[in-house]
Amino acid sequence: MYLQLSTWQEVDAYLEQSKAVLIPIGSTEQHGPNGFVGTDALCPEIMARGVEEATGCLVAPTLSIGMAQHHLGFSGSITLRPTTLIAVVCDVVNSLAKHGFERFYFLNGHGGNVATVTAAFSELYAEASLGKADPDRPALRCRLKNWWENEAVQRISRQRFGAAEGGHATCSEVSLTFYGYPQHQKNAAMSPEIAPTGPIYDSSDFRKRYPDGRMGSNPSLASAEVGKELFDGAVPALAADFRAFADAP
């Protein structure tokens, strides 16, 4: 069930069965020579389709712009300040909580979101602890789950890509988007074959260290075939994790 394709009456009916909602969250940022700018938002959105089919959960609209300031040296990248993203997450949760939702499962596609989104969860809990929350707001529980953090994805990535997987513009995430959007696959030469690795600071420094946008990866190895393997491998684990979170006391 998808919030954007539902009526308010259908949402009311869903709430009679479940208080849990899945919210894909990602980023709009460059992903090297052949990766989509929307990769980090598309990946959790694609995985959410499988979780929805397996569990019947309600999927909220994807939060597609994240904390990506270090990618602003590349055209098309968009960022929210950490404080802005915290406010967005809190407003989304509080809006849905007003209608009776209590469990908020953020399926994440961007490592740069982790610190900020978990800080937003702390803000939400602090509202309750300090007596600042709406008195009618239910007790909230929030979870951030990175789609790639499960045994199946890690195993397939090791077997298929080894050291070429990398840390940004990875073979796996590019493969997953090629599976989801095969008509938009890109090809590009990679030089060097495997990109350098190192720290992340501001956007100017990032562009100097990683001139084509990759970090430690060779996404020319990406394919829709492997993307399907990753999807089929990850969805059962993500669905089980969502169910456990939704049903937890």
The tens place of each residue's pLDDT in the chain, 249 residues long, gives: 999 999 999 999 999 999 999 999 999 999 999 999 999 999 999 999 999 999 999 999 999 999 999 999 999 999 999 999 999 999 999 999 999 999 999 999 999 999 999 999 999 999 999 999 988 889 999 999 999 999 999 999 999 999 999 999 999 999 999 999 999 999 999 999 999 999 999 999 999 999 999 999 999 999 999 999 999 999 999 999 999 999 998
- Contact predicate 238/108, CB 8 Å: no
**How far apart are alpha carbons 232 and 212 in whole angstroms?**
30
- Contact predicate 166/216, CB 8 Å: yes
Q: What is the DSSP string of 93-113?
A: HHHHHTTT--EEEEEE--GGG
Local structure of residue 72 (DSSP, 8 states): T
pTM: 0.96
The CATH number assigned to the domain with range 3-247 reads 3.40.50.10310
- Contact predicate 208/67, CB 8 Å: no
Amino acid (one-letter) located at 49: R
- Contact predicate 149/108, CB 8 Å: no
Tell me the pLDDT tens digit for each residue of 38-54: 999 999 999 999 999 99
Tell me the pLDDT tens digit for each residue of 215-228: 999 999 999 999 99
